[in-house]
Structure formats: structure tokens, C-alpha cells
Amino acid sequence: MTAERRRFGPRFSVARFGAIAMKEFVQMRRDRLTFAMMVGIPIMQLILFGYAINTDPRHLPTLVELGDTGPASRAIVQAMETSRYFDIEGVVFGAADINTALKTGEAMFVVTIPANFERDLARGERPQILLDVDATDPVAASAAASSFPRIVESAVAPLLDGALSDLAQGPPPVEVVLHRRYNASGRSALNIVPGLLGTILTLTMVLMTAIALTREAERGTLESLLATPAQPLEVMAGKISPFVLVGVLQTAIMLGLARTLFGVPFLGAPPAFLALITMFVVVNLSIGFLFSTLAKSQMQAMQMTFFFFLPSILLSGFMFPFRGMPGWAQNLGEALPLTHFVRGVRAVMLKGAGLGDTWAQIWPLAIILAVVATLALSRYRRTLD
């Protein structure tokens, strides 16, 4: 029997996997419309969301607590006004007033210039300046808040002449402390881009492989494919792998746009990001392939994709803060790849997490992948019945 087995090759043949992958790649390249969609969707979504994010975040009501006055304080307040992000509407005194102002919405920002600010600045002691932010509407607040350090720095820079000019190199002369209120996790425009990236990848990746087998069945090519000695795992891997490239391409487009249009920082280590994104893309493609083995037609496959997409958006922490959801919803959310991706990619992109830090997100994704792949391979039909 072993001699006979050899005539059709091992359980997993790299050659057959490669043949399927290459064939899928050529088909994908020839399918102009789909390809344009794969590239167009992320661009369109990002721009749409981006403009929603940016709906005039200027002229936001701001109060100042002046613990000190002098040329630097005046310059900072002046610079804030000219930036047009902040409208300085008056002064406050003390923590209680600040709380009330932010709570009632009288102000969205309160700038606190501490006592001895001018003196400490002159001595080069890097005094703190505090910006309290009402982050309940992170979309509105974030652009202004993220521009604040730059405003402060350029306001004080001209004052640092003569003996102080060496301060202009090195670390900033003022330490800006952002204090987000009411939304400590700090969901902001910056956080929406990573989430959006995951959402778009979920939709397009699942959709692409969801129609993988149903399309072959509808075009009649499944009969030829099944008449070859192709093994289920070869078909699955072969159909998935070309789209990993698409996923990476989409990611590159999104990140490039997010950076140029909206100044979303990328702090993280590229290896961590690459590991996370690859894992996430592969998991989604596998889910799509699973749908493909379940669906009877391309239409059904698309419906399944959208059924999967909805909870992914709602329960992953992309739309609503994860910790704010009821327990059952959190449990459900843990089973969704997007949840882990959003967590991981926010950490990587915004907090500078490294490869080691993302392990906490990689292993749940690996478990989901194992479960989905097992299901898909057991569902894969090797006959036409």
C-alpha cells in the first residue's frame, strides 16, 4: 500500500498547494473589478471616516487656570487662540471649578499653568502644563488635544533665546500633560483608524474566501478541481495565501493614508505589527473559507459574511468600549478575531508595544484559527454530492 500511496504523493503536497495558490493569484489579478474593490474600499472608508472624524474640530470652548502669569503663559494662550482649535473663554480657579466646567460642558478643555511656571521655564526645569480634556466625544477632542504639545512648544520657543537657547535642542522645554476625563481609555480619532483597519480587513478578507468554493461550484470548475488528487488542506491554503498579500496591501494603503491625511502615529515595532496583521488576515480568510464550505451559493456566502461582520463591529470594542459591554457580550466578543486585533493593533500603533506584548493577542487568534480550520477541513466536501 505504501508504494501505491507514493503514486499520488504525500498528504500535503507543496506542489499542489503552489499550483492552487498561483492559479488563485492569476484569477485575482484578472478580476479587475474585485481587485479595484479591494484597493478602493479601504481608501474610500478611510476618507469617509476621516472626514467624519474631522468635522470641524476647531473653536472648542476652553478655560485657563493661571497659576502664574508672564511672557510664556501669555504666549501659550495667544498661540492657542491663533491655532483656532481653542477658544479661550475665560479663567477658572481651582480643581472644583475645573470639574464643574468640564462636567457641565461649559468647557471642553481646561489649561492649567502651574505656579512658578515662568521661573521653572527660565531655569530650564521643564515645568508641566496640564490640559484637561473632556474625552466623551473623542472624535471632536482628539485633533485639538494632539496638536496642543506642538502649539505649546512653538509658543515658548522664541522666548528661549540667549542662555536658554540650548534648551531648544534636547527634550521640549515644557512637559505637556494630557488628562482625559470621562473616557480614560482615550478612544480617539487615533484609535478609530486601527479599528477601522481591522473592520475593513474583516469584511474584505472574509468575503474574498467566502466565495472561493461556491464560485468554483457555480462556474462548474469544481468538478475539474475535485477530479484532481487535491487535498482539503492544499485547497484551503492555496485559496487563502494570495489574499494574504491583498490584506497586507490594504493595510499599507490604509496606514499610509492615515498617516498623511490624519497624522495617525505609528509607534509600534514593525515585526509586532506584521505578526499581528498576518495572523489576523489568515484567521479571517479561514473564516471565509469555512463559510465557503457551508454555503450553497455565492449569494449565501455573502450573507454569511455580513452576519459575521455585524457582531464583529458591535462587539469587538471598535464601536463601543469593550469594558462597558455586559459580560455575555464580552464573552462573545472574545471569540471574534477583530476584538483581539483591535486591542493588539492599538497597543502597537499608539502605545509602541513590541512583539512580546502582542503575544497576548496572537495566541487567542491562533486558537480561533485552529478551531475554524478544523471545522472548515471537516466540512470540505470532496465529492459533488
Partner 1 sequence: MNAETVIDVRGLTKRFGDKTVVDDFDMTVPKGAIYGFLGPNGSGKTTTIRMMCGLLRPSGGEGTCLGYDIVRDADLIKANVGYMTQKFSLYGDLTVRENLDFMARMHAVPDRRGAVAATLEEHKLAPRAEQIAGTLSGGWKQRLALAASSLHKPPLMLLDEPTAGVDPKARRDFWDRIRILADGGVTVLVSTHYMDEAVQCDSIAFISFGKKLIDAPTADIAAQVGLHTRRIEGRDLRPIHAQLKDAPGVDQIARFGSALHVSGRDAAKLDAALAPLRARPDLEIGPAKTGLEEAFIYLMTGSEDNYQ
Give the residue carrying C-alpha cell 493595510: 251
274 to 313: interface string for partner 1, x by CB under 8 A: ----------------------------------------
Q: Which three cell numbers stand for residue 63?
A: 478655560
| Closer Cβ to partner 1, 55 or 224, answer by number | 224
3-state secondary structure of 221: coil
Q: Which three cell numbers stand for residue 344?
A: 493588539
Indicate the burial class of 7 (C-beta count within 10 angstroms; 0-12, 13-18, 19 or more): exposed
Least distance between partner 1 and beta carbon 247 (Å): 22
CA proximity to 353, closest of 275, 259, 248 = 275
Least distance between partner 1 and beta carbon 146 (Å): 47
Looking at the chain, how many residues does it have?
385
Cβ atoms 79, 152 nearer than 8 A: yes
| Closer Cβ to partner 1, 20 or 350, answer by number | 20
Cβ atoms 117, 68 nearer than 8 A: yes
| Closer Cβ to partner 1, 29 or 59, answer by number | 29
Least distance between partner 1 and beta carbon 230 (Å): 6
Least distance between partner 1 and beta carbon 225 (Å): 8
Binds partner 1 (CB under 8 A): choice among 12, 15, 182, 360: 15
Give the residue carrying C-alpha cell 512637559: 175
Least distance between partner 1 and beta carbon 11 (Å): 10
3-state secondary structure of 111: strand
Cβ atoms 347, 267 nearer than 8 A: no
Cβ atoms 76, 129 nearer than 8 A: yes
Q: Is 13 in the site for partner 1 (CB under 8 A)?
A: yes
94: CB partners within 8 A, 6+ apart: 65
- The interface with partner 1 within residues 188-247 (CB under 8 A) comprises 219-224, 226-231
Euclidean distance between CA atoms 199 and 209, whole angstroms: 16
Stretch touching partner 1 by CB under 8 A, among 298-306, 349-357, 367-375, 377-385: 377-385
Q: Is 384 in the site for partner 1 (CB under 8 A)?
A: yes
| Closer Cβ to partner 1, 18 or 311, answer by number | 18
Stretch touching partner 1 by CB under 8 A, among 7-15, 73-81, 144-152, 361-369: 7-15
| Closer Cβ to partner 1, 242 or 333, answer by number | 242
Judging by DSSP bridges, how do beta strands 86-91 and 109-113 pair with one another? Answer: unpaired
16 to 55: interface string for partner 1, x by CB under 8 A: x-xxx-xx--xx--xx------------------------
| Closer Cβ to partner 1, 65 or 234, answer by number | 234
Least distance between partner 1 and beta carbon 262 (Å): 38
* Count of residues interacting with partner 1 (CB under 8 A): 33
Question: In what helix (H) or strand (E) does residue 87 lie, and over which residues does it extend?
Answer: strand 86-91
Least distance between partner 1 and beta carbon 281 (Å): 24
In the 8-state DSSP scheme, what is residue 269?
Answer: -
Q: Is 3 in the site for partner 1 (CB under 8 A)?
A: no
291: CB partners within 8 A, 6+ apart: 206, 209, 210, 301, 304, 305, 308
Least distance between partner 1 and beta carbon 235 (Å): 11
Residues that bind partner 1 (CB under 8 A): 4-5, 7-9, 13, 15-16, 18-20, 22-23, 26-27, 30-31, 219-224, 226-231, 382-385
